[in-house]
Amino acid sequence: MHGYEFYVDPSRCIGCESCVNACGECGTHRGVSMIHLDFIDREWTTASTPMVCMHCEDPACAQSCPADAIKKGEDGVVRSALKPRCIACSNCALACPFGVPKVKIEMELMMKCDMCYDRTSVGLRPMCATVCPSQALMYVTPAEAARLRRDRPVNTFHFGSQEVKTKVFMYLPQGSDALDVDVVKDMWRPEE
Amino acid sequence: MARPPQSVEELIRIYGPTLKYVPPGGWTQSALHAEDKLVKTHCCFCGQQCGIQLRVRHNEVIGFEPWEEFPFNRGMLCPKGVKRYLQGSHPDRLLDPLIRTESGFRKASWDEALQTTAIRLKEIQDRNGADSVAVLGGASLISEKSYLLGKFARIALGTRHIDYNGRLCMVSAGTAYKLALGVDRNPNPWSDIPQAQVVIVAGSNVAECFPITTDYLWRMRDNGGKLIVVDPRRTPITRNADLYLPVKPGMDTALFAGILHVVLREGLEDREFIEHYTTGFDAVADYVKQWDPLRTAEATGVSPQAIEKAALWFGSAENAMALHARGVEHHSHGVENVLSIINLCLATGNIGRPGAGPNMITGQGNGQGGREHGQKCDQLPGQRHIEDPAAREYVAKVWGVDPDSLPHAGLSAMEILEAIHRGEIKGLLSICFNPLVSLPDAGYIREALNKLEFFGVIDFFLSETAHHADVVLAGSLQEEEEGIVCSGEGRVIKINKAVDPPGNARGDSRIIVDLARHLGKGDYFKFPSTREIFNELRVASKGGTADYFGVTWERLEKEMGLFWPVPSEDHPGTPRLFEGGHFKHPDGKAHFLVAEVRPGGDPLDPDYPLYLTTGRVVSQFLSGTQTRRIGPLVDQNPEPRVEIHPELAAKHGIANGDLVTVTSRRASVTLPALVVRTIRPDTVFIPYHWPGRKSANNLTHRTLDPRSKIPEYKCSACRIAKAETPAGMKPNGELNVLGGR
């Protein structure tokens, strides 16, 4: 969908796994979910975070692929590995700074999010961003994103000295102090 | 004696729950072949009633496609909505009526099953009187079925005992709104939420129970608003709360009294609004005088500073909303809890405007609509009171009967089970209700079911309750009949039929109509389809509080739903109630009512020193009759776990994953521990979707709110102890006990 961008806001995620379930409903890979959802540390917090492919400008997965199986389209979307080429060596999974590609050994294939290429090419929004109840995953125009959100989206990441630019944007939380997540910290108890 | 004919293990082997993962035709085929049609309808689960399109091929639902044009959810769905389609073409589906024998259930013809049901119910009534038979309905049914069921009970059976499972959902909210505002409907459309400057969410795990509402709350915050969460647990929405009040279970009334105390102390009340549009303020103001922040803190476990801050934020906001759900409603003082929230809104003039008002978050799919048209024990269609002579006369005329022949108010759901236990009610017909999992004190409920002389069930799967049935009438899923529901917003919407019932299963409405005919009352039930039922419902509701007369199926589809009341076909509907300070009491005013802090029905003592509270997880729905059969949803939460704070866990030597025995005054349940800092250390939490030995409702108690008759699920007394992991069982606590999934 021309002019639309993908935005991830981990702070909105409620860990419901709607995206995980919906991803597996996409036509091209029905039955296989490619999205990642992690609970950060359930003992301390309910916080969770979804991870889609960030679609890097210069994708490490493609660079590291010995079989030249991973292609980036002119639209900036980095596709899943090409089935005839992929040798399931896992180089891509090791190289990706965001930990996105999943190697399906039983299928001898790397699969990852391709931003619902089958849907966006026919004017439908990606499945995960359509269903996400908290809109932690959002697919809108930049103007719409600016209207809807007060946080700032970024698409430049520093891994050590390496800078990675991505097609997908990530919202960073507003400047905040240390976060206490223990209920006890909020409870009132009479002086003992 | 309605005892299960076989062991639970054997019944589970035959009737499930079986986990279904793959759509009809398999993953590949279903992806290759386009659907025959996309049916625009709504999710079958909670009261949010998200719009969804079902993909249908060869009379089977093979998947879904988001419906982005429906304004409430704009394509958004929770995991239950995403995977709801897997309830269709399910191996556990009942395809024929069943009749219980000594050794199990056998298939029966419709004639035999209907005739047996009619004869047995009639025999019981002939021997013991009309009221010795009761009917239980459900709030997942479309309004046509709820209406039909109410008429069926009162005319075909002539019993006064009909009630529904909304009784255990949110009746204390409905009762409080009626008492204070004169109508049982939440006041604001959800599009108001992002316009509020402050929103209190009290006793509602929005992220897991009403996930779509999360986006509304986040939008409110993006607009600069503040979110205040009141809950004994830090539920997922608390991650972005601007203020979190970790209230002690059962102390909501005190907390809101304390907040109102500060509002009045600071002079933040809306004097003009109070004077012109309300009555009873002085008594409430007088009552909350004693609830200063320190005393409130002592009672609630919330700090005085947080109470002050909540009051200042709410009282100073131009527009503020207070959303609440089962956490405040499931108490023996649930009505008081809700009244205390309404009082705060009225005192600050927060009602009847965009972004201002108290709002109840409806739990069940047709939780709102299902209680408006006659399956509630004290109501006739249109939210009319059954003891109101004018209402009786009007409805009797619509039905073509003598007003005096209409039964009077009957018992509520829990009271019906108690009357069965006492032997007063001997016959039961139940649809869409699984009380063995969903009512409190499951051991008592099982005893009651065993005592029934005849138990007829209409359902699409053999629920744990249906194990006790004499006759099971194979009914229909939501997507198998056309009709309407009313969502939590108060928006009446259209449910479209996607497929026919499979095998010899039949539409629920047809079953009820046929049963009426077998009872000799067919003349009152001449409904060829649900459309004729709907048209009668419109007339029966006309002039009532919940007036649907101007609603047509065609308008609902064209206008994406209509908010009732809709008194005429040219009426635009009523998205927001109480605009201009017009309330639904005869005096036109809102009524402040003193909400007194009262103790709960199962107090703590040294033997039972902890609070037990129960609730839901995101991937399961209510008693799990549907969702425990959908593989991906079960995988997400395979079994209940007991949430325990590390401070409490350490006292008992419990580590994450250890088995813990939770004991209440009624029973013990052993489950794995989930050790988390997101719960008060004096409280443990168990989700209630599971049956048998995993059922949280083995532990809960039967105390009811005296006015609303809602059970007190949210506060029982208990103790915990580390349980030994039985030999052969995995140390990570994976259990496979009786009555498993």
Q: What is the DSSP letter of B576?
A: S
Burial readout B60-82 (b: 16 or more C-beta within 10 A, e: otherwise): bbbbbbbbeebebbbbbbbbbbb
Phi, psi (5° rounding) for residue A138? -140, 140
- Which pLDDT tens digit goes with each residue over B506-532? 999 999 999 999 999 999 999 999 999
pLDDT band, residue B30 (cuts 50/70/90):
low
B-contacting residues of A 64-103, CB under 8 Å?
A: none
**H helices within B452-529, ranges in order?**
508-518
Are the CB atoms for B61 and B30 separated by under 8 Å?
no
| Chain B: residue whose CA lies nearest to A190 | B298
- Which pLDDT tens digit goes with each residue over B317-342? 999 999 999 999 999 999 999 999 99
Are the CB atoms for B641 and B672 separated by under 8 Å?
yes
> What's the distance, CA B45 to chain centroid?
10
- Burial (CB count <10 Å: 0-12, 13-18, 19+), residue B485: buried
Q: With an 8 Å Cβ cutoff, are A187 and B680 in contact?
A: yes
pLDDT band, residue A118 (cuts 50/70/90):
confident
Q: Is the pLDDT of residue B193 over 80?
A: yes
Distance from CA of A11 to the nearest CA of B (A): 7
Q: With an 8 Å Cβ cutoff, are A133 and B83 in contact?
A: no
Q: What is the mean pLDDT of residues B441-456?
A: 98
Collect all residues of chain B within an 8 Å Cβ-Cβ radius of residue A45.
Answer: 234, 239, 677-678
User: At the top level of CATH, which class does the domain A5-186 belong to?
Assistant: alpha beta
First vs last Cα of chain A: how many Å apart?
62
Q: Is the pLDDT of residue B730 over 70?
A: no
pLDDT band, residue A25 (cuts 50/70/90):
very high
Are the CB atoms for B549 and B567 separated by under 8 Å?
yes
Q: Is the pLDDT of residue B29 over 80?
A: no
Q: Would you list the domain boundaries of chain A?
A: 5-186
Distance from CA of B438 to the nearest CA of A (A): 23
Tokens for B355? Answer: 């972004």
- Burial (CB count <10 Å: 0-12, 13-18, 19+), residue B158: middle
Query: Is residue A49 less than 8 Å (CB to CB) from chain B?
Result: no
Interface test with B, best of A148, A152, A183 (most B CBs within 10 A): A183
| Rounded (to 5) percent helix, strand, coil in chain B | 35, 20, 45
Q: Which of B76, B240, B303 sits opposite A11 (nearest CB)?
A: B240
Q: What is the mean pLDDT of residues B165-173?
A: 95
Q: Would you list the domain boundaries of chain B?
A: 19-87, 98-167+366-480+497-547, 171-360, 610-722
Q: With an 8 Å Cβ cutoff, are B678 and A181 in contact?
A: yes
The percent of residues in chain B predicted with pLDDT above 90, rounded, is 95
Distance from CA of A19 to the nearest CA of B (A): 8
- Which pLDDT tens digit goes with each residue over B531-585? 999 999 999 999 999 999 999 999 999 999 999 999 999 999 999 999 999 999 9
Report the amino acid identity of residue B22: V
Cis link prior to B17 (omega < 30° from 0)?
yes
Helices B304-316 and B293-300, interaxial angle, to 10°? 110
Are the CB atoms for B121 and B414 separated by under 8 Å?
no
Q: With an 8 Å Cβ cutoff, are A150 and B76 in contact?
A: no
Pairing of β B668-675 and β B659-663? antiparallel
Q: How many residues does chain A have?
A: 192
Burial readout A130-155 (b: 16 or more C-beta within 10 A, e: otherwise): bbbbbbbbbbbeeeebeebbebebeb
- Which pLDDT tens digit goes with each residue over B372-430? 998 999 999 999 999 999 999 999 999 999 999 999 999 999 999 999 999 999 999 99
Say how far apart CA B28 and CA A29 lie, in whole Å.
9
pTM of the predicted model, to two decimals?
0.95
Distance from CA of A151 to the nearest CA of B (A): 8
Q: What is the mean pLDDT of residues B356-368?
A: 96
Q: With an 8 Å Cβ cutoff, are A183 and B680 in contact?
A: yes
Q: Which of B27, B81, B214 sits opposite A30 (nearest CB)?
A: B27
Query: Is residue A150 less than 8 Å (CB to CB) from chain B?
Result: yes
Domain B610-722 carries which CATH code? 2.40.40.20
Q: What is the mean pLDDT of residues B29-47?
A: 87
pLDDT the model gives residue B479: 98
Helices B293-300 and B252-265, interaxial angle, to 10°? 170
Tokens for B280? Answer: 């009873």
Phi, psi (5° rounding) for residue A47? -60, 140
- Which pLDDT tens digit goes with each residue over B106-115? 999 999 999 9
Say how far apart CA B408 and CA B153 lie, in whole Å.
12
pLDDT the model gives residue B444: 98
pLDDT the model gives residue B731: 46
| Chain B: residue whose CA lies nearest to A15 | B236
Domain B98-167+366-480+497-547 carries which CATH code? 3.40.50.740
pLDDT the model gives residue B738: 37
The residues with which B321 forms a beta bridge, in sequence order, are B199, B357
Q: With an 8 Å Cβ cutoff, are B77 and A18 in contact?
A: yes
Q: Which of A152-166, B583-597, B606-620 has the lowest mean pLDDT?
A: A152-166
Residue B283: in which H helix or E strand, if any? helix B281-288
Are the CB atoms for B484 and B366 separated by under 8 Å?
no
∠ CA(B130), CA(B136), CA(B138), 5° rounding? 150
| Chain B: residue whose CA lies nearest to A18 | B79
Q: Report yes or no for ipTM above 0.90.
A: yes
Q: Is the pLDDT of residue B34 over 90?
A: no
pLDDT the model gives residue A177: 44
Interface test with A, best of B210, B214, B230, B675 (most A CBs within 10 A): B214
Query: Is residue A153 less than 8 Å (CB to CB) from chain B?
Result: no
Three-state secondary-structure class, residue B602: coil
Tokens for B330? Answer: 């499931």
Cα–Cα distances (Å) from B621 to B11, B368, B625, B628, in that order, read 22, 17, 8, 8
The residues with which B542 forms a beta bridge, in sequence order, are none
Residue B674: in which H helix or E strand, if any? strand B668-675
The overall average pLDDT reported for chain B is: 96
Q: With an 8 Å Cβ cutoff, are B246 and A183 in contact?
A: yes
Collect all residues of chain A within an 8 Å Cβ-Cβ radius of residue B649.
Answer: none
- For chain A, the maximum distance between any two Cα atoms, rounded to a whole number of angstroms, is 70
Q: Is the pLDDT of residue B719 over 70?
A: yes
Report the candidate in B639, B604, B593 with the shortest Cα–Cα distance to residue B619: B639
Report the candidate in B483, B467, B463 with the shortest Cα–Cα distance to residue B475: B463
Phi, psi (5° rounding) for residue B411? -85, 155
Q: Taking the CA atoms of chain A, what radius of gyration do you get in angstroms?
A: 18
Tokens for B643? Answer: 């949430």
The residues with which A6 forms a beta bridge, in sequence order, are A139
Tokens for B35? Answer: 């659907």
pLDDT the model gives residue B735: 42
Q: Which of A16, A31, A127 sits opposite B27 (nearest CB)?
A: A31
- Which pLDDT tens digit goes with each residue over B155-166? 999 999 999 999
Collect all residues of chain B within an 8 Å Cβ-Cβ radius of residue A149.
Answer: 222
Neighbours of B432 (CB within 10 A): 28
Say how far apart CA B429 and CA B153 lie, in whole Å.
9
User: At the top level of CATH, which class does the domain B19-87 belong to?
Assistant: alpha beta
Q: With an 8 Å Cβ cutoff, are B214 and A12 in contact?
A: yes
pLDDT the model gives residue B168: 94
pLDDT the model gives residue A60: 96
pLDDT the model gives residue B32: 67
SS (H, E, C) B102-142: CCEEEECCHHHHHHHHHHHHHHHHHHHCHHHEEEEECCCCC
Residue B393: in which H helix or E strand, if any? helix B389-399
Cα–Cα distances (Å) from B673 to B617, B664, B684, in that order, read 15, 17, 10
pLDDT the model gives residue A179: 46
Say how far apart CA B335 and CA B322 lie, in whole Å.
15
Say how far apart CA B309 and CA B289 lie, in whole Å.
18
Query: Is residue A190 less than 8 Å (CB to CB) from chain B?
Result: yes
Q: What is the mean pLDDT of residues B667-683?
A: 98
Q: What is the DSSP letter of A1?
A: -
Q: Which residues contact A106 (CB under 8 A, 6 or more apart)?
A: none
Q: Is the pLDDT of residue B694 over 70?
A: yes
Cα–Cα distances (Å) from B42 to B21, B359, B484, B557, in that order, read 21, 22, 10, 12
pLDDT the model gives residue B103: 94
> What's the distance, CA B417 to chain centroid?
18
Say how far apart CA B266 and CA B442 lie, in whole Å.
48
pLDDT band, residue A151 (cuts 50/70/90):
confident
Q: What is the mean pLDDT of residues B426-445?
A: 98
pLDDT the model gives residue B727: 57
Say how far apart CA B85 and CA B266 lie, in whole Å.
53
Query: Is residue A177 less than 8 Å (CB to CB) from chain B?
Result: no
Interface test with A, best of B32, B69, B77, B637 (most A CBs within 10 A): B77
Tokens for B375? Answer: 């399956």
Domains B98-167+366-480+497-547 and B171-360 share a fold: no
Distance from CA of A152 to the nearest CA of B (A): 12
Query: Which CATH architecture does the domain made up of B171-360 adopt?
Result: 3-Layer(aba) Sandwich (3.40)
Q: Is the pLDDT of residue A181 over 60?
A: no
Q: Is the pLDDT of residue A192 over 70?
A: no
Collect all residues of chain B within an 8 Å Cβ-Cβ radius of residue A15.
Answer: 207, 236, 618
Q: Which of B30, B211, B301 sits opposite A30 (nearest CB)?
A: B30
